Amino acid sequence: MIQLQKHNSPEKWAVSYDCRTAVESFDRTCLVTLPVDGADAQDGELKGLAVTDEEMARKAVNYVFETPGGMIYHGADSHFSNYFAKHGKDFNIDVAINNYGDNPIGIQDKMTSIDLLRMAENLRAKVIIPVHYDIWSNFMASTDEILALWKMRKERLQYQFHPFIWEVGGKYTYPQDKDRIEYHHPRGFDDCFEHDSNIQFKALL
């Protein structure tokens, strides 16, 4: 069983180191964020500096978590990369988690709805969960866009995955929740009419 809880706070993982695998990250933003090797020698200027896989690996990683309930892929702040397909062949991924948002003009920082669907397809994941879209006001995005595109494409492209739209404070348990598309907090009132109602009439209209 994989049990995840969504908080608007730094994520904490209760997973032993033996069950974690660090893999390549595709967070291009970190490559243009100081410190960068060689920038000091150019008074902080990044122009002309080489972009290397080693620099990326030094600054960011993605994680694969192996649990008794399945395998989780956390893409963190990665942008779309064709190398997701390599990770999809290297690991049997059940649930993938990645950033999602609407990029402001001139900015390329978050994955778009179509990027997220392509990521899930490349990873061969069963479930894709978008995160981060609801914590940055300038990147705020609608998850309805993900669902609409998925519905438009899933039959034609034979998608083998579906999105899961989370809510802050919500819980997702895999594989028990594997067929759920959207989270909704418990609505309560399950005990209605287990006892006589203390009102002046039988039925509340």
Q: 198-202: which pairs have CB atoms within 8 A and are 24 or more residues apart? A: none
For residue 81 the two structure tokens come to 């990369």
Q: Among 118-127, 169-178, 196-205, whose mean pLDDT is lowest? A: 196-205
d(CA 38, CA 48): 10
Q: What is the pLDDT of residue 34?
A: 64
- Please determine, for residue 14, whether its predicted confidence score (pLDDT) is greater than 60: no
What CATH fold (topology level) applies to the domain 59-185? Metallo-beta-lactamase; Chain A (3.60.15)
d(CA 148, CA 81): 23
Give mean pLDDT, residues 111-130: 98
Q: What is the pLDDT of residue 22?
A: 87
d(CA 190, CA 201): 21
- Please determine, for residue 123, whether its predicted confidence score (pLDDT) is greater than 60: yes
Q: How confident is the model at residue 10 (pLDDT cuts 50, 70, 90)?
A: very low
Q: Which of 117, 16, 30, 29 is nearest to 63 (CA)?
A: 16
pLDDT in tens, 26-77: 887 776 666 777 777 888 787 877 777 787 777 788 999 999 999 999 998 9
Give mean pLDDT, residues 165-169: 92
- Please determine, for residue 97, whether its predicted confidence score (pLDDT) is greater than 90: yes
> Would strands 61-67 and 162-163 be described as parallel, antiparallel, or unpaired?
unpaired
Between 204 and 36, where is the model more confident?
Answer: 204
Q: How confident is the model at residue 142 (pLDDT cuts 50, 70, 90)?
A: very high
**H-state helical runs in 41-172:** 53-59, 84-90, 113-123, 144-153
Between 3 and 52, where is the model more confident?
Answer: 52
- Please determine, for residue 5, whether its predicted confidence score (pLDDT) is greater than 80: no
Residue with tokens 């908080």: 7
The average confidence (pLDDT) of the chain is 88
Q: What is the pLDDT of residue 165?
A: 98
Q: Among 44-53, 121-130, 135-144, whose mean pLDDT is lowest? A: 44-53
113-123 and 144-153 helices, crossing angle to 10°:
50
**H-state helical runs in the chain:** 28-31, 53-59, 84-90, 113-123, 144-153
Q: Among 121-130, 156-165, 188-197, whose mean pLDDT is lowest? A: 188-197
Domains of the chain: which residue ranges? 59-185
Q: What is the pLDDT of residue 180?
A: 97
